[in-house]
Amino acid sequence: MSINQLVYVSQAVRKMSVDDLREIHVKARSNNELIDVTGSLFYNGGWFLQVLEGPAPTLAKLYKKIESDPRHKNSRVLYNEPASFRTFPRWNMNMTNLDERQADKYDELVEVIDAIRSNRKIGSASPAVTLLKLFKG
């Protein structure tokens, strides 16, 4: 079965606590395992950036559900393309809280989110493509 990668960004409606993020992470892992979705969720300064990987119809349905979640607003898809492999095959959902400044690749991830906020490219690449390349190898 072919897979797609969908990357979206959204704003939290309030500052998320560590417990809030843990709750999102646990629920997403459980739900995604049942529908063959992998990916990673990044949180920084009130912004979510998420990569979802799985069958295109599944991602479309999941994204509709995510869009209606009242914990965030202004959700927009940055990237939704077929992929030849999963970037995050080991994780039904990984969670990285960049507010804690202990993440691997912290500076690069913050730059990606800043580029999205200011609607600019990183070099000649879109922020979504840059994000996927960060974890590719």
Residues 57-81 have pLDDT tens digits of: 999 999 999 999 999 999 999 999 9
* C-alpha triplet 14, 33, 7: angle, nearest 5°: 50
Contacts of 49 (CB under 8 A, 6+ apart): 7, 8, 9, 41, 42, 43, 109, 112, 113, 116, 131
Nearest to 20 by CA among 81, 89, 136, 99: 99
pLDDT of 105 over the 80 cut: no
pLDDT of 137 over the 60 cut: no
Percentage of the chain lying above the pLDDT 70 cut:
96
pLDDT of 101 over the 80 cut: no
Question: Mean of the pLDDT values across residues 112-136?
Answer: 83
Sheet of 3-12: strands edge to edge? Answer: 72-83, 3-12, 47-54, 38-44, 94-97
Nearest to 47 by CA among 24, 23, 71, 19: 71
Cα–Cα distance measured from residue 31 to residue 70, given in angstroms and rounded to the nearest whole number: 18
Q: What is the pLDDT of residue 116?
A: 85
> What is the rounded average pLDDT for all residues in the chain?
89
Cα–Cα distance measured from residue 22 to residue 18, given in angstroms and rounded to the nearest whole number: 6
CA-only gyration radius of the chain, Å: 14
